[in-house]
Amino acid sequence: MALTGVEVASFEADADRAWPAREVAVGSGWQARWADGMHRRINSATVSPDADLPGAVEAIEAFYRRRGFPPTVKITAEASHPEVDGFLASRGYRYEARTQVRGCAVTSMPVAPEVGFLSDSGAWVEAFAAASGYEPASGRLLQQVIDRMSESWLATVRVGSVIVAVGIGSVAPPRMGIFAMATRPEDRGNGHATAILRALLGRAAERDIAEAFLQVMEDNAVALRLYERMGFVARYHYWYRVGVAAASR
């Protein structure tokens, strides 16, 4: 069943708490997030349905250009200003990264013995970098995001002494967000991502979390098959409009 604008806005607010920006600016009908340019979601703005659209966009552009970053706006069909996509397109903003938000009810699941949880965010980020190919600078910014979370579960799968897969559960009651899923290329196809998801859902059930959610690019067919198999259903989608960093108008 399609979500209403109010329901999507609530979902988005929980997602913002689960994957927190370093800085959030709130204006009249707009909000802009900043985290040193790492990850679009926490370096993008939103425009509410009742905003003064030209004024909100000008404020957003000023916010990001002061930081040397392209003004970036995240848009949902349900909870954004109804004219924002066309307005930004008319200003030359390009369309990027159509993404599904998927959710599932949390139920208790058995946890495979090879799954564990780390308390050291630095060690977890090192394992994530090995699995995903992240650059060191991006890894440092990712660790800062993790350290801003109110409660995070840093899941790993070990084969022998080697961590081969990772994922994060970030608690934002009544939901848990699942982020940064990665498996070493040579170890893919062995059920490690499924084991991570089961472990995170099992821990969420112990904490009486009602729903888990994740975000996945619509062109990521492998991930979509995994999430569908695990019971995650599409709730809504969003996309971005991205302007030019240093342009003046």
**Neighbouring residues of 84: CB distance < 8 A, sequence distance ≥ 6:** 47, 53, 57, 73, 75, 241
| Cβ atoms of residues 47 and 60 within 8 Å | yes
Task: Per residue of the chain (249 residues), give pLDDT as tens.
Answer: 689 999 999 999 999 999 999 999 999 999 999 999 888 999 999 999 999 999 999 999 999 999 999 999 999 999 999 999 999 999 999 999 999 999 999 988 888 888 999 999 999 999 999 988 878 778 889 999 999 999 999 999 999 999 999 999 999 999 999 999 999 999 988 999 999 999 999 999 999 999 999 999 999 999 999 999 999 999 999 999 999 875 443
Eight-class DSSP state of 19? S
Sign of the Cα pseudo-torsion (36, 64, 216, 146, in order): positive
Where do the DSSP E strands lie in the chain?
Answer: 23-27, 30-34, 45-47, 72-76, 94-105, 115-118, 152-159, 162-172, 175-183, 211-217, 233-242
Closest CA relative to residue 222, chosen from 189, 177, 190: 189
Question: What is the phi-psi region of residue 208: left when phi exceeds 0, alpha when psi lies from -120 to 50, beta otherwise?
Answer: left
